[in-house]
Structure formats: structure tokens, C-alpha cells
Amino acid sequence: MILKSWRLLLAVECIFIRTSSQSSPQKRQCTFQVTPQGDRYSIAGNVSGSVQLCENTRCCVGYYMIVNGKPKVDILACDIAEKSCPDATCKAQIRLSGRVIKCVCNTDLCNSNITWTPESEEPQLTRYSGGDIVKTALTLVGMLLVLCFMIAAKWISLLKKKNPPSLDDYSASQLCSCQTTKHSEVDVTNIELQQIVSHGDFATVWQGKYQGSMVAVKVFPEGWKQKFTTEREVYELPLMKHPGIVHFLGAGWKPDGGRWLTVLQFAECGSLHSFLCENTTSWMSSLKLCQSLLQGLSYLHSDLHRYDAHKPPVAHRDLSSSNVLVRADGTCALCDFGCSTILRSFSGHRGRQSHTANMMDHAQRGTLRYMSPEILEGSVNLKNTGSFMQGDIYALALLLWEIWMRCSDLFEGGIVPQHQLPYRSELGANVTKERLILYVCHMDKRPSIPQHWELLPQGSALEEILTDCWDCDPDARLTAQCIVNRLVSLQSCHNLHIKHLHCSLCVTSV
């Protein structure tokens, strides 16, 4: 009876310890060193050099192999799942007949120094004496009450997951309370700035070298710290790594001159704007540009829960051909998140209006000619901040138009036009907000679509995608994922058309 009570007490205590540690805001830091066989421990937290910041546990773990009578490090990391770790130091536990030593501990970097001698034995459970039975029973009752409370809370949480919030239930904040990953600091003294690639409104982008690799270094003057901070927060959200989003390598502060630096993956072909100015595309290569662009935006807009991490939806809010990069493989990657807004969910509708006043000043963000009609007019529905993502879709339509207007297969037998920004031919190079409002909002006009596209196999589908994305009614616009699905269907139909064409040619030759 005593042994059963002890086992139950241990089980309840493990659950109680797990719950208590999850509620603590401070994350555990553990020494990180793994062999290739232990690579799975890298998912337990964010790694910076030899330190790992735990995501799911308050426990550090260490595995040592006994080689020639001495412990040799096999795995040092955060534990993958929360377990009981009552020891503050790394006390040896013998495993596999003395060939392996394990320790689990609960203080920062405690797994780096194991307490072990060759005579160490596996710890034994302490036995209860008869006088402890009453105390144990009372403890069990208390623990069982806590367990019941936890089960009820878990049940409520599961019910909420069955009814996820809609976009109407999102409120926005430039500095979201969502948990971000650990800041990825870089040693700015190791960054070599080589040449300027581009100038933006808020920063200058350099081609540089860092840790032996070519990188892009975005340099913000001291006065634009807020843009730097916003961009960094977006990049450091959990689960933000995606092929359609430029890879973030880290950030830092350069004291001389007072500059903030963001280090990013280098895109060999530069911005989409410069790429389209210098290159025409085939139908298949234009689809590759469009699909990678759409997949990146769809991922940015998505609300993800994986491995107990949460990436909330993010509205880019400054999509333009200058803020999309093109890699050497012909795929696109989103960048420039200084105007972005992280959307966070609230359980109720109360509180949304408190954010409305704060967001009024930030509603009109982005590049003027890519602003949607509702943003131009200042009629954005701030109570439904999903409208910011609908504004992204409008800008996306203009990007798709730019790409397709440089596709040689859509101008067969004719001359492919030089690359032009949206509304340049209609309103000129230096477009004003007043003229855009008149043309886009009051006249409901959009960039012109070539008439001969109606005669092409894919022409009507392309026109339908554009008109459905830049519709004056934000609620009528497609989602990024819906456009991805349409383009996949369009590509399948094109491949089938080519296949039938080849078959016809084979029959004719016979």
C-alpha cells in the first residue's frame, strides 16, 4: 500500500512540477553539445553557440559515455520533454551496465559539470516509515485536487482548439506580446561591408561577408531604431523559417556612427524589381517566381502551432517589387518587415477598440502605388485587422501583374514590354496620392491587361486571378493559399496541354 502511494505521489509531483515550470516566464539555459546521433535535441530550444535556450522544459540533460574509465560527453542539451528534475547539480545516474551516465538538473548550465566517481551507483528511492502515512495521505489529497484542476483546464483548452478564432478575432500590435525566439546577436566586428546594393527609405543594404559567407547586411541609422526593432521581432518569431521568407542570420549594434545591423541570406539576383528590369521570363519560370512568392506570403499570413511554439499571422503591409528578393534558382523570398504588423488573438471582442486608437496612425503604411483602395482612402476596418492581410493581397496582385508583363510566352510573336511599375503608364513616374485615389478608388481602375491574353490558353485564368485579388471590396479578395491552388491547377492544365500537343505532333509525323 505504501509503495503504491509513493508511486502515485511521484506521478502527481511530476505533473505538478511540469505545470509550475511552464508558468515561469524565465527560460532555462543549458550547455549545448551533441553528436550527430543526438541531433534531435536541437529542436528542444534555440541554440546560440554552446548555449541552448529551452522551449518546452526547465530541465537540462547530460549523457556521458564511459571511455577508458572516464566520462566523455555524448549529449548536453535541454531535455526534449518536461520531466522531474529536482537536482540543482548534474548528479550521475548509471545506465547500460555502467557504460553510460545520465544526469538531469534544474539550474542554468548545470549539465556542463557532472558529479561522478567510478563508484557512483544509481540512486535508490527513500522508503517511508509508518509515521509518514498520514502525512502522505494528506499530500496525496492535495495533489489529486491539483490534478483534477489541471484536467479541467486541459479539457477547456481542447474545446477552444476545436473552435479556432477567425480573422475577426485578431487584434494587432506593432510590438506583439507573442513569445519570440531568443535574440540572435551577431559579432559586428566580424562583418565586412563590401559594397552598397540598394538604398531604401529606412535603411541601406550592403553586400558583405560574415563567417566566410557572402551575406546581405541591412544598415539602419540610429533614428530608425523602431523599424529595425519591428523587423527583428518578425524575423525572430517562432517557426519563421520558410523558403519563401529570406533567411535571417542575426542582428547587432555598430557603435561607430550608431547603426543597427540586420544580417540576411544573400539573394544573388537582387530585388524582384531589378530582376524584371534586366530579364524576361518563360511561362514556367514566371510560374516559379509567382508560386514561391505566394507560398511565402501564405506562410507569413498563417497561424501555426507546432512543438508547443506559436507563430501568429503577420501582415507584411509593404509588399512591392523592391521588397521581394530573387535567388539564383529563380525563386522569390519576402523581406523588409519594418512596416509589418503581428496579429494576436483575443478570446473575446473586448479590448479590440483599445487597439484601434493606437493603430489609427499606422493604418496608412507601405509604398504609395501598392496601397489598396481602402488604405488610400483611410477606410480600413481596424476592428478586423485581417484587413491588413487583404491589403497584402491587393499589393500581391500588382506584383503578379509585373511578373506576367515580362513573360515572353504571354507575348508570343510580339515584343515584351519593358518592366514598369504599376500605374506608371497611366499616372506617370511620380504618382501622387490624390491622383491614385481618383483613379483607383473613384474610377475603380487597375493596371491594363493586354487584350490578346484572352486568346491564350491560360489568359482568362490569369485575368480572373488578378481581378479577384485587386477587387475594390477587401472581403471579395482571394487568400494567398487560394491563389497557390489556382496556379497549381493552371500549371497542371498547361502541362496536359503540352502533352496533348506532343501527342498530336507524333500522330501527324506518323
- Classified as helix, coil or strand, 142 is helix
Helix orientation angle between 480-509 and 387-404, rounded to the nearest 10 degrees: 30
CA distance 409 to 282: 6
Give the distance, in angstroms, between the CA of residue 270 and the centroid of all CA atoms in the same chain: 22
In whole angstroms, give the CA distance from residue 247 to residue 444.
Answer: 38
CA dist., res. 258 & res. 207, Å (int): 19
* H helix intervals, 343-479: 352-360, 373-377, 387-404, 424-427, 433-436, 459-469
Phi, psi at 436, each rounded to 5°: -65, -45
Q: Which three cell numbers stand for residue 328?
A: 539564383
Catalytic residue among 318, 336, 392, 471: 318
Reading the block at residue 289, the C-alpha cell is 517566381
Max CA separation in the chain (angstroms)? 99
Rg (the chain; Cα; Å)? 29
What DSSP designation does 428 have? -
User: Which set of grid coordinates corresponds to residue 361?
Assistant: 496612425
From the list 97, 466, 488, 96, the residue with the least C-alpha distance to 288 is 488
Measured at the CA of 17, the angle between CA 50 and CA 111, to 5 degrees, comes to: 25
* Whether 87 is catalytic: no
For the beta carbon of residue 118, count every other beta carbon within 10 angstroms. Answer: 9
Q: Where are the alpha helices (DSSP H) in 378-458?
A: 387-404, 424-427, 433-436
Contacts of 27 (CB under 8 A, 6+ apart): 45, 53, 54, 55
Neighbours of 185 (CB within 10 A): 12
3-state secondary structure 2-15: HHHHHHHHHHHHHH
| Measured distance CA(295)–CA(300) in Å, rounded | 9
CA 75/CA 232 separation, integer angstroms: 31
Question: Phi then psi for 86, rounded to 5 degrees?
Answer: -75, -15
The C-alpha atoms of residue 410 and residue 286 are separated, in whole angstroms, by: 10
Report the alpha-carbon distance of residue 195 to residue 215 in Å, rounded.
11
Annotated catalytic residues are: 318
